[in-house]
Structure formats: C-alpha cells, structure tokens
C-alpha cells in the first residue's frame, strides 16, 4: 500500500510537467523560451533570500553548539517530567522547528540507539512527521518578499509549534 502510494507521489511532478508543456504547446506557447524566461528570475529571488537564511542559520547553529540547547532540553524535560516523555523525544521536539537536517540525523540516531520499536522512536517519528522546520520556512518565505514587520506571526508560529508537539505526544501515547 505504502509502496503504491510512494509510486503515485513520484508520478505527480513528471505528469504535471508533461501536462504543462503539452497544454502550452496547444496554446501556441514556445515552451522552451518561456521556461528560460522564467528560470531567469531564479537567481534574483535567491539573492534576496540568502541573507535572511544566513542570519537565521548562524543563530541556530550557534545556539545548538553553545550548550544553551542542552539546558533548554533538560529544562523542558524536568518541567514535563510528570508526562513521562522520553528525553530523546524532547530533543526531537526542540530540534525539529530549528533544523531539518539536524532533526533527520537525530531521528536516525534515536532509532539506532533505542531500537526501532521503542517509545522514544515512536514518539520522535510522530513529531518528525507532523512538525515543520518553522525557522527555515520563516526565513525563506519572509526573505523572498523582504518583509520586515512580521507583527504577531512569530509568536503564533511558536505557540502553534508547542501545541503541535503536545498533540504529537498525546496521539503517540494513545496509539502505542
């Protein structure tokens, strides 16, 4: 079932591309020239995003390496100790919004050290699947249109992330 669905999702982009070029050709668009014309905009967009991405990454990496991350994790672990959440899942909950590659590495590590069927793995899997790399999304999307005044967006995202993690923990407990 999963295999078939994976194949289906692999089909989406190629089919969409095929449909786009055929539809364009029917409508007498010179698709090659159009594509080149569109692709020209790419570098300008990335140039806009790059400084935002760099600024946020410097802060995130520094935060992880400074030891502040461990203190934050231990703090959360102590604070929510009564919920009996594995400490690995707490790490996952903090890492996921910060960094995509770090959370993948951490997840692989959790599966390796605690076993594929442990509670820590199950909970991390649900967090990993249901949370998003919030800071990356903020940097890229806000950077793309040079937004300086974000009003209450950042607190909304942080509150929503927190609720998302709690939901993931509750759902995991309920299922496994």
Partner 1 sequence: MNALWLIMVCVSIVFAIFTGHLEAFTKAIFDGAKAAVEISLYLLGIVSVWMGITKILEDSGLIYRIAHLFKPLICRLFKNIPDDHPSITAITLNVLANLFGLGNAATPLGIQAMQDLDALNQDKGVITPEMMTFIVINTASIQLIPFSVIGILANYGHHNPAAVVLPVLIATTISALTALLVLAGFRKVFK
Q: Which residue has the tokens 């997840």?
A: 107
Q: Kindly state the number of chain residues that form the binding site for partner 1, as judged by CB under 8 A.
A: 98
**What is the rounded CA–CA span in Å between residue 21 and residue 17?**
6
The dihedral sign for the CA sequence 84, 85, 90, 91: positive
**What is the rounded CA–CA span in Å between residue 9 and residue 170?**
29
CB of residue 81 to partner 1, shortest distance in Å: 22
Q: Residue 75: how many CB atoms within 10 A of its CB?
A: 12
Burial (0-12, 13-18, 19+ Cβ within 10 Å), 92: buried
Q: Which of 59, 79, 83, 87 is close enough to bind partner 1 by CB under 8 A? A: 59
CB of residue 80 to partner 1, shortest distance in Å: 17
Within 80-99, which residues bind partner 1 (CB under 8 A)? Answer: none
CB of residue 87 to partner 1, shortest distance in Å: 18
Q: Which of 7, 14, 65, 82 is close enough to bind partner 1 by CB under 8 A? A: 65
Q: Which of 15, 46, 79, 83 is close enough to bind partner 1 by CB under 8 A? A: 46
Both structure tokens of 53: 């991405």
Q: Which of 7, 27, 82, 84 is close enough to bind partner 1 by CB under 8 A? A: 27
Q: Which of 92, 93, 94, 131 is close enough to bind partner 1 by CB under 8 A? A: 131
Q: Residue 79: how many CB atoms within 10 A of its CB?
A: 10
Question: Based on CB atoms, which residue is closest to partner 1, 20 or 76?
Answer: 20
Question: Based on CB atoms, which residue is closest to partner 1, 70 or 81?
Answer: 70
CB 22 within 8 A of CB 31: no
Q: Which of 63, 76, 77, 80 is close enough to bind partner 1 by CB under 8 A? A: 63
Burial (0-12, 13-18, 19+ Cβ within 10 Å), 30: exposed
Using CB under 8 A as the binding rule, whether residue 168 contacts partner 1 is answered as: yes
Question: Based on CB atoms, which residue is closest to partner 1, 76 or 167?
Answer: 167
């Amino acid at each position: 079932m999963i295999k078939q669905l994976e194949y289906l999702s692999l089909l989406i982009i190629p089919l969409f591309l095929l449909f786009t070029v055929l539809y364009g050709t029917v409508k007498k668009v010179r698709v090659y020239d159009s594509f080149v014309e569109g692709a020209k905009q790419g570098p300008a967009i990335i140039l806009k995003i790059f400084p935002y991405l760099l600024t946020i990454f410097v802060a995130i990496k520094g935060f992880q390496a400074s030891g502040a991350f461990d203190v934050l994790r231990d703090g959360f672990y102590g604070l929510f100790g009564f919920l009996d959440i594995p400490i690995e899942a707490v790490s996952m909950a903090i890492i996921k919004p910060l960094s995509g590659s770090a959370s993948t590495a951490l997840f692989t590590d959790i599966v390796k050290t605690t076993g594929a069927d442990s509670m820590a793995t199950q909970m991390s899997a649900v967090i990993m699947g249901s949370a998003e790399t919030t800071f990356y999304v903020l940097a890229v999307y806000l950077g793309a249109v040079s937004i300086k005044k974000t009003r209450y967006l950042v607190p909304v995202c942080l509150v929503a992330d927190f609720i998302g993690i709690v939901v993931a923990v509750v759902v995991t407990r309920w299922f496994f």
